[in-house]
C-alpha cells in the first residue's frame, strides 16, 4: 500500500530516534515489577533519560526512592576488545553523579541485551586522572544488566537512601547545624573547623561531620552510635567494621578500647611505658583501676598521652573529662591546670 498517496508526505524517523525508542521500550520491560517503576524524563533532562523508582511489598508500594539513568542504544558490534564504548561529556557526568546510585545503561540492539556502568565508577576514573580529555570521557560497558543487578541496584538504592535519611533525622533531632561535610584525615575532636580541615588535608581518610552551635566538631559515626546505644563508654572509640569510614549505618559501627590503638612501646624507658599504661588504665577504668607499681607520671606525660588518644579517635565530653582529671589528680597528688 502506498501511504504517501493516501496520507501525503510525512515526517521521517531518523535512525537515532528509532534506536532510542527501542532502547526505552526494552528498558521499561526490564525494570518492572516487583522492583521498579520507570519514569521517563522529557523536558530539560540535561542528560538524564529515565528515572527509576524503587517499589516494595511485591510491587504494591511506591517509595519515592529514585535514581537517574542515561540510556544509550546502538546496533553496532562490540569493539576489538570485546565490549561497547561510548563518549559522554564531563558536564553530564558531573550532573549524573550528583544523584546517588545513578548509572549509564547501554542497549545492544543486535544482542537485545543491556549493559551498565555506575556513574560513581566513571567519576572516580575521571578524578584519578586516567583520562586526558577535560571535556569528555569514554564509558566502557562490560557488565550485563541481569536479574542479579536489578536486585542489587534496588537494595543499594534503598540502603543508601535510608542511610542519609537517618543522618538527616539525627541532625534535626540533635539540633545540630545543617550541612554535613566530608573531610579528610584522622579524627580530632577539640579544634576549630579551619584547623581540622588543614590537618585532615594531609591525610587520606574521609569522614562525615557537622558542628554544634559552638563550632565544636561532631562526627556522624559517634552521633549515630550514641543514638542507637547511648553514650560512648569511657576509654572507648567508635570504628567502622568494614573499614569504609563513610558507611555510617548503625550495623557497621562498633567500639573498641582506646588502649588497643595506643603505641606504648613508643616510650623508650620501661618505667615510662608503665606510667603511660597507668594513665591509659585510669582513663578507661577510673579510680578502681589496678595500676603498676611505679612512681606517678609527670603532668607532661599525661597531656602527651591524651593528645595521642585524641588523634586516634578518642571521644570524651566535658563531664567525662572532668572526672578523668579528678582521677588523675588523686593519683598524681597534685592539681592539673
Q: Is 321 left (phi over 0), alpha (psi -120 to 50) or beta?
A: alpha
The burial of 130, by beta-carbon neighbours within 10 Å (0-12 exposed, 13-18 middle, 19 or more buried), is given as exposed
* pLDDT top residue among 67 and 232: 67
CB atoms within 10 A of CB 330: 11
198 has pLDDT over 60: no
Structural domains of the chain sorted by starting position, each given as residue range(s) with its CATH number in brackets: 13-156 (3.40.1350), 175-255 (no CATH), 262-332 (no CATH)
DSSP 329: H
pLDDT digit string (tens) for 271-319?
677 777 778 877 777 767 777 777 777 777 777 777 777 666 666 667 7
For the CA atoms of the chain, what is the radius of gyration? 28
Residue 157, helix vs strand vs coil: helix
Which three three-digit cell numbers place residue 14? 531518523
3-state helix, strand, coil in the chain (%, to 5): 40, 20, 35
Q: What is the mean pLDDT of the chain?
A: 77
- Contact predicate 183/64, CB 8 Å: no
pLDDT of residue 189: 33
Query: Which grid cell sits at 262?
Result: 595506643
% of residues, the chain, pLDDT over 70: 74
Q: All 3 cell numbers of residue 293?
A: 607499681
- Surface-to-core class of residue 270, CB atoms within 10 Å of its CB (0-12 exposed, 13-18 middle, 19+ buried): exposed
| DSSP 8-state code for residue 259 | G
Q: Please, are residues 176 and 215 in contact by the beta-carbon 8 Å criterion?
A: no
Q: Report pLDDT for 5.
A: 79
Closest by CA position to 256, among listed 241, 276, 269, 239: 239
Amino acid at each position: 500500500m502506498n501511504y504517501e498517496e493516501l496520507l501525503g508526505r510525512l515526517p521521517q524517523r531518523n535512525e537515532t530516534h528509532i534506536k532510542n525508542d527501542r532502547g526505552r521500550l526494552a528498558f521499561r520491560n526490564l525494570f518492572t515489577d516487583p522492583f521498579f517503576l520507570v519514569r521517563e524524563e522529557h523536558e530539560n533532562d540535561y542528560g538524564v533519560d529515565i528515572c527509576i523508582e524503587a517499589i516494595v511489598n511485591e510491587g504494591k508500594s511506591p517509595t519515592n526512592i529514585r535514581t537517574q539513568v542515561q540510556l544509550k542504544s546502538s546496533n553496532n558490534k562490540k569493539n576489538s576488545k570485546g565490549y561497547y564504548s561510548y563518549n559522554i561529556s564531563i558536564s553530564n557526568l558531573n550532573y549524573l553523579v550528583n544523584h546517588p546510585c545513578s548509572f549509564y545503561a547501554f542497549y545492544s540492539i543486535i544482542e537485545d541485551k543491556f549493559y551498565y556502568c555506575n556513574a560513581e565508577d566513571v567519576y572516580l576514573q575521571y578524578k584519578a586522572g586516567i583520562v586526558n580529555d577535560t571535556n569528555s570521557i569514554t564509558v566502557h560497558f562490560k557488565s550485563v544488566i541481569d536479574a542479579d543487578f536489578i536486585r542489587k541496584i534496588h537494595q543499594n538504592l534503598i540502603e543508601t537512601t535510608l542511610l542519609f535519611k537517618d543522618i538527616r533525622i539525627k541532625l534535626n533531632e540533635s539540633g545540630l547545624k545543617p550541612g554535613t561535610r566530608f573531610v579528610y584525615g584522622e579524627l580530632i575532636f577539640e579544634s576549630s573547623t579551619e584547623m581540622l580541615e588543614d590537618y585532615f588535608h594531609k591525610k587520606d581518610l574521609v569522614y562525615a561531620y557537622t558542628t554544634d552551635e559552638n563550632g565544636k566538631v561532631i562526627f556522624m559515626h559517634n552521633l549515630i552510635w550514641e543514638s542507637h546505644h547511648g553514650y560512648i563508654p569511657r576509654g572507648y572509640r567508635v570504628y567502622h567494621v568494614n573499614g569504609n569510614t563513610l558507611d555510617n549505618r548503625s550495623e557497621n559501627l562498633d567500639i573498641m578500647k582506646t588502649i588497643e590503638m595506643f603505641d606504648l612501646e613508643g616510650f623508650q624507658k620501661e618505667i615510662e611505658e608503665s606510667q603511660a599504661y597507668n594513665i591509659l588504665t585510669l582513663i578507661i577504668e577510673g579510680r578502681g583501676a589496678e595500676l603498676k607499681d611505679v612512681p606517678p607520671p609527670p603532668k607532661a606525660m599525661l597531656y602527651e598521652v591524651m593528645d595521642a588518644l585524641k588523634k586516634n579517635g578518642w571521644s570524651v565530653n566535658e563531664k567525662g573529662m572532668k572526672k578523668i582529671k579528678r582521677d588523675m589528680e588523686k593519683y598524681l597528688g597534685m592539681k592539673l591546670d
